[in-house]
Amino acid sequence: MTPHRALQFDLQNSLSSSSFHPSRKDIENVHKTLETSWAKSTHSSYARNLKHFHRFCSQRNIPPESRFPTSESLLLIYAASHVGICSSSTVRHRLSALKAYHVIHNWPWNGSPRLSKLLRGLKLSAPDSSSRPPRPPISLSMLIRLLKRLNLRDPFDAAVAACASTAFWGQCRLGELLPRSSNVTHSSSIPTRSHLTCSASKSRPPQSFNLHLPQTKTNRLGQTVTILPRDDASNPLPLLQNHLFVNHLPIHVPLFSYCPKNHASPHTRILSKPAFLARCNAILNPLGYKRISGHSFRIGGTTTLLASGIPSDVVKTMGRWSSDSFLRYWRHIDRIAPAQAPPHTPRPGTWYTASGGELVSWTAGRFLRAGGSPVQCLNFSPWERSTVRRSSPLPTRHGGYGFTSRAWGLTLDTIQSLEIVLANGSIVTTSSLCNADLFWALRGASSSFGIVTSMTASTFPAPPSVTSFLYVWDVTIEQATTSVLTYQGFALSPSTPSNLGLYLVLTKGSQEGKVGMWIMGAYYGPPSNFNSTLAPLLCTFPETNNKTVSETTYIKSVEILGFMGRLNTTQLPDEPNTFYAKSLMTPEGSPMTREMVEAWMKYLGKQGFSADTVWYIEIELYGGPTSKINQIPFDSSSFGKRDTLFTIQLYTSSSN
């Protein structure tokens, strides 16, 4: 066997046997298919490393026939020859080439525990000169300073700005976006203009871009990156739009091409990796920053996302890593560690009030405060991924409505990420940054797609005090009709504040022709404003002495409004309740007429009184001009009931 100048291999012997002799064509098919299993760069690297091994053997007079299969002793001697010369990673790469060569020829690989121990020793004895200092990441502030110094009306600078922001927030390797040389006229591994698609409709600007990478370092079949908006100057969406507007790129040219200003005819030039880095360093170096490399943008984007508190598994998915190797790219661990710290779970059954931005966990069905310094999200981990009867234990993906919803929105609007078990048994993490389509669908229709096992949600500051209230009447049908219409007018008034949670409850009256009526809820504003806030509603209601108004804490208000006393989910109710329920939602644009309400109240005052079951109806204030529920864009999730004024809940229970 002669030393290899390229990675060559002969499969004749490994494919043949005494009873089977494959044809030349069959051997060629196997040969070609094995060749395509490596990227060209890997092919070249393995060839160099095999050449190095042959040179080592020749220096020690090891004959070609004794080199393969490589014995354990020869592997140990070869690996140990690197001691004090190069890094252990270099040795591992060279051994990987040898192992691949053995796999191709179906030879036994004699790696052993001794070899593993030896490699550990090599790592400890490697010279300082063998390891390069960590490549500096691009920080968000560096990126913004860079972008502000680029002339976005200049075709070249417009391409540089779009590429920089895309590489940073898309966690892209520059080699996935740009060629190594501007002399390249076409490369199948570089995205073209046609590979960039957007979510825009004719009436709205794009909410995201999808960039298909034809080939990546870890996936030669390509992968797709979702590019999302930011609320600062590094927002990649307008930078990409500006680049496309300034450069007028044909659909077939590389995405980050540009049209030189001084060119006489329409002509595009490819932005190369060296030209891109030269422009960036020309701006950043005079500002005092170290020289950056192509990987600085990927490292910087990863570090920034981790430091902002995005879970590491989400960042891993966004960055398209197939393993945890991305962890070695963490920079500024002092900023990342606090954001990634797992929540401390207090003793089950203990209840706490969570401040805005605090980390809170839901374990075994209880919301619990985690303690520690403030962070930006609310984590839920229900029952260690256990659920009952195919349904999610977290109902908030279908809305999540309560007394506070008009003030802070539905619970589903606070969700930042979801973990879900799909029908094929795989567990995936979804957010606006990864698996975005599934994330959109889950917030409103999660039961149709799988079992949600955990979620991360943002929090809001608990109000310093809450005024809870309950007013009770027994009224005539006419009074009930007027009261319901007044309640509807109050709901539609732009003066009704969003920090008022309100239910009107209808139930069986004391006698035929009467209707029981409650007004209950919570006011989350200053207690001194409570009476003036509710006055426009109560002014037409009959007088009542049956009322309770309490200024209390937020947690105490939850206990009061739930009619449950102390909050406790550790035990089942003493007596089961067989009940039936129906929900209706009334559109804000079609309020109830007087005729409709009067007919409804007559039915409740007559047939409702004679019913032999316990029943009640909640008319819950949901929308209105100031409600935060309706201020969220209708297409932000699959939940489709944001144009609702009231949710009407009908309940009846029976002993049998």
Read off the pLDDT of each residue in 374-379 and give the average, rounded to a whole number.
34
Burial class (CB in 10 A: 0-12, 13-18, 19+), 325: exposed
Q: What is the DSSP string of 394-446?
A: -GGGG----TTHHHH--GGGGEEEEEEE-TTS-EEEEESSSSHHHHHHHHHHG
The per-residue pLDDT for 440 is 85
**Which pLDDT band, with edges at 50, 70 and 90, does 220 fall under?**
low
Read off the pLDDT of each residue in 318-331 and give the average, rounded to a whole number.
60
Higher pLDDT, 312 or 534: 534
Query: What average pLDDT does the chain have?
Result: 78
CATH of domain 379-461: 3.30.465.10
Domain ranges of the chain: 38-130, 140-339, 379-461, 466-653
Q: pLDDT of 19-39, one tens digit each?
A: 677 777 877 787 777 777 766
Task: Provide, rounded to the nearest whole percent, the portion of the chain with pLDDT above 90.
Answer: 27
The per-residue pLDDT for 394 is 46
235-238: Cβ within 8 A, 24+ apart? 235/165, 236/162, 236/165, 236/166, 236/168, 236/169, 236/170, 236/209, 237/205, 237/206, 237/208, 237/209
The per-residue pLDDT for 7 is 52
The per-residue pLDDT for 131 is 62
Task: Give the number of other Cβ atoms within 10 Å of residue 536's Cβ.
Answer: 14
Residues with Cβ within 8 Å of residue 650, at least 6 apart in sequence: 581, 582, 583, 584, 615, 617
Question: How far is residue 450's CA from residue 55's CA, in Å, rounded to a whole number?
Answer: 57
Strand partners of residue 522:
468, 501
CA angle 208, 211, 214 (to 5 degrees): 170
Read off the pLDDT of each residue in 612-638 and give the average, rounded to a whole number.
87
Backbone angles phi and psi of 289, in degrees to 5: -90, 150
Question: How far is residue 281's CA from residue 292's CA, in Å, rounded to a whole number?
Answer: 7
Higher pLDDT, 25 or 17: 25
The per-residue pLDDT for 3 is 37
Is the CB of residue 179 less than 8 Å from the CB of residue 190? yes
Q: Would you call 82 helix, strand, or coil by DSSP? A: coil
Read off the pLDDT of each residue in 163-179 and give the average, rounded to a whole number.
90
Task: Give the number of other Cβ atoms within 10 Å of residue 17's Cβ.
Answer: 9
The per-residue pLDDT for 322 is 60
Is the CB of residue 256 less than 8 Å from the CB of residue 241? no
Beta-strand runs (E) in 477-578: 500-508, 514-523, 547-552
Burial class (CB in 10 A: 0-12, 13-18, 19+), 227: buried
Please state which of the ranges 65-79, 236-250, 367-381, 433-447 shows the lowest mean pLDDT: 367-381
Residues with Cβ within 8 Å of residue 90, at least 6 apart in sequence: 82, 130
Q: Would you call 114 helix, strand, or coil by DSSP? A: helix
Read off the pLDDT of each residue in 30-56 and give the average, rounded to a whole number.
81
Q: pLDDT of 112-145, one tens digit each?
A: 889 888 888 888 877 766 566 666 788 888 899 9
Task: Give the number of other Cβ atoms within 10 Å of residue 84's Cβ.
Answer: 9
CA distances from 547 to 473, 482, 519, 540, 563 (A): 9, 20, 9, 16, 15
Question: How far is residue 529's CA from residue 454's CA, in Å, rounded to a whole number?
Answer: 39
Using DSSP bridges, classify how beta strands 614-621 and 514-523 pair: parallel, antiparallel or unpaired.
Answer: unpaired
CA distances from 100 to 35, 39, 97, 103, 457 (A): 11, 13, 5, 5, 46
Q: What is the CA radius of gyration of the chain?
A: 34
Say yes or no to pLDDT of 493 above 50.
yes
Read off the pLDDT of each residue in 233-244 and give the average, rounded to a whole number.
88
The per-residue pLDDT for 217 is 62
The per-residue pLDDT for 605 is 93
Torsion of Cα atoms, 604 then 608 then 609 then 612, to 10°: -170
Helix H or strand E encompassing 303: helix 296-307
Read off the pLDDT of each residue in 458-474 and give the average, rounded to a whole number.
87
The per-residue pLDDT for 350 is 35
Say yes or no to pLDDT of 406 above 80.
yes
H helices of 517-614, in order, are 530-538, 554-561, 594-610
Say yes or no to pLDDT of 168 above 90.
yes
**Which pLDDT band, with edges at 50, 70 and 90, does 522 fall under?**
very high
Q: Please state which CATH class domain 466-653 belongs to.
A: alpha beta
The per-residue pLDDT for 439 is 85
Tokens at residue 107, please? 């030879």
User: 38-130: which CATH number, 2.60.40, 1.10.150, 3.40.720, 1.10.260?
Assistant: 1.10.150
The per-residue pLDDT for 129 is 64
CA distances from 513 to 29, 475, 476, 478 (A): 90, 9, 6, 9
- Closest to 306 measured CA to CA, from 338, 336, 269: 336
Is the CB of residue 480 less than 8 Å from the CB of residue 576? no
Is the CB of residue 475 less than 8 Å from the CB of residue 514? yes
Higher pLDDT, 374 or 622: 622
Read off the pLDDT of each residue in 240-266 and give the average, rounded to a whole number.
80
Architecture of domain 140-339: Orthogonal Bundle (1.10)
The per-residue pLDDT for 199 is 58
Say yes or no to pLDDT of 330 above 70.
no
Is the CB of residue 100 less than 8 Å from the CB of residue 46? yes
